[in-house]
Copies of this chain bind each other. A is one copy, B any other.
Amino acid sequence: MNHAFTIEELRDLHEFACKLARTAGAYLRNDQIRRRRIALGTEEKLNSVDLVTAADKSVERLIRDSVKDRYPEHSFIGEESYSAGQEKRFLLRDDPTWIVDPVDGTVNMVHMFPMVAISVGFCMNSIPTVGVVFAPFLGGDGTLYSAIHHPEGGAWMAEYGAHGPLTELPLITPPPPLPEDAPKGCLFFGEWGKDRRDSPQSNLSKKATNFVNMATEIGGRGGKGSMVHGIRSLGSSTMDMVFVASGQGDIMFEAGCWEWDVCAAIAILLQTGGIVVDSNPPADLGDNDPIPMANIGGRRYLAIRGCSEDPKGRSSREQQERVVREVWKKTERLNYQRPL
């Protein structure tokens, strides 16, 4: 079934999502101020993990209730959609569906490190179509990234509060070509993750190998050295993806996160001309086959920023697919999956 929305309907929906994310952000900021007061002894003591878990649940409830109220006919997927049972089957269908992460970067939130994001995504026909990512602790007013993925849509960064000026994304428009020998010269984002097992086959070991391959000089590591310009780990896959979407980074390679961590950021990425594919190469993909988009619920994501035709006449897509294949060649397969 094809669910078509007019651009006006999408603009309303985007505005609603931006307000919702800002309301949730204000809640998180107040919650942090409350935590500071607790530390000063004016409220009962709770440990910071409990406090953040409680904030996470409150914000998810707030967002879910607001969406149900405004769009009662839409579906809703959040972490809580899965928390009741063992079933982790991917729930996204073609009907209009909100995919929300109330707090991405909970470890950061516990430690008050500001890379924390509220991620509000909206899909139709299983495609991320509206995305709002609000980082309430990046600057006093927070920083809001958003997009309507549509020919008449757009993508924006708002650093000056709800009524301040907007910056169009990507930050450089049109975006520059990718570096000629990319991933060499790229800013690469990835996370260490929660799988900490000490085994050569663990995701931790493979992620370490991948980081070292990406960092090492060209010619090193048996040809896998890629000499990226820098490796960044922020502790929030939402923020990793958003920086690539906005043109403030080049490559995001991350597995283990879930659709609510990336859905909103993917809408922004798509609107700015970026691509996202599976971080493991599909088994039956030929060298000249077009590379399919990542499954939104597949838990493995390799995103490349938007770019313009390069001096050799390679199209944006050609450059991006070349970089994808280079990264695949130089990284180990990660072991995260999902019944689909």
The residues of A with any CB-CB pair to B shorter than 8 Å are 35-36, 39-40, 48, 107-108, 110-115, 138-143, 159-161, 164, 171-176, 187, 192, 196-198, 204-205, 208, 211-212, 215-217, 219-221, 225, 227, 229-235, 243, 247-250
- The one of B107, B140, B161, B230 in contact with A230, judged by C-beta atoms closer than 8 angstroms, is B107
A176-B139 in contact given A171-B112, A192-B211 (Cβ < 8 Å)? no
* B247:A221 contact, CB within 8 angstroms: no
B111, B196, B221, B235: which contacts A198 (Cβ < 8 A)?
B221
A232's partner among B176, B196, B233, B250 (CB-CB below 8 A) is B233
Interface of A is mostly: loop
B187 A231 Cβ-Cβ under 8 A: no
Q: Which of B35, B107, B140, B208 contacts A212 (CB 8 A)?
A: B208
Q: Which residues of B contact A247 (CB under 8 A)?
A: 112
How far, in angstroms, from A197 to B216 measured CA to CA in the complex? 6
Q: Complex Cα distance A220/B204, Å?
A: 12
A172 touches B35 (CB 8 A): yes
Chain B residues positioned under 8 Å from A227 (CB to CB): 196
Least distance between A327 CB and chain B CB atoms (Å): 17
Residues of B within 8 A of A221 (CB): 198
Q: Are the C-beta atoms of B229 and A110 separated by less than 8 Å?
A: yes
Known: A216-B204, A231-B233. A112 touches B248 (CB 8 A): yes
Inter-chain contact B187/A113, CB cutoff 8 Å: yes
User: Given A40-B173, A139-B139, A243-B113, are A215 and B192 also a contact pair (CB < 8 Å)?
Assistant: yes
Q: Can you sample 13 A-B contacts with CB below 8 Å?
A: A39-B176, A107-B187, A107-B229, A111-B187, A111-B249, A112-B171, A113-B248, A114-B138, A139-B143, A187-B235, A196-B216, A197-B220, A208-B211
For the complex, give the distance between the alpha carbons of A220 and B143 in Å: 39
Q: State the Cβ distance, A231 to closest chain B Cβ, in Å.
A: 5
Q: Give A233's nearest chain B residue, CB to CB.
A: B233
A225 touches B198 (CB 8 A): yes
Bound: A143/B159 CA distance, A:
12
> Nearest CB to that of A218 among chain B residues?
B196
User: Across the interface, do A217 and B198 meet the contact criterion of CB distance under 8 Å?
Assistant: yes
Closest Cβ of chain B: how far from A145's Cβ, in Å? Answer: 12
In the bound complex, do residue B212 and residue A204 qualify as a contact, i.e. CB atoms below 8 Å apart? yes
Contact of A174 among B39, B138, B208, B250 (CB under 8 A): B39
Q: Across the interface, do B192 and A231 meet the contact criterion of CB distance under 8 Å?
A: yes
**Beyond the given A40-B173, A113-B243, A230-B235, could you list 4 further A-B residue pairs with CB under 8 A, ordered by the A residue number?**
A36-B171, A48-B176, A197-B216, A231-B233
> Judging by beta carbons under 8 Å apart, are A225 and B248 in contact?
no
- Complex Cα distance A230/B49, Å? 14
Contacting residues, chain B, for A143 (C-beta < 8 A): 139-140
Can you name the residue of chain B whose Cβ is closest to the Cβ of A231? Answer: B192
In order of increasing CB-CB distance, the 10 nearest A-B pairs are A139-B139, A198-B220, A140-B159, A140-B160, A111-B187, A39-B172, A196-B217, A107-B230, A233-B233, A112-B248
Which residue of chain B has its CB nearest to the CB of A213?
A: B198
- Contact of A159 with B173 in the complex, beta carbons under 8 Å: no
Contacts of A235 in B (CB 8 A): 187, 230, 232
Nearest CB in chain B to that of A209: its residue: B208
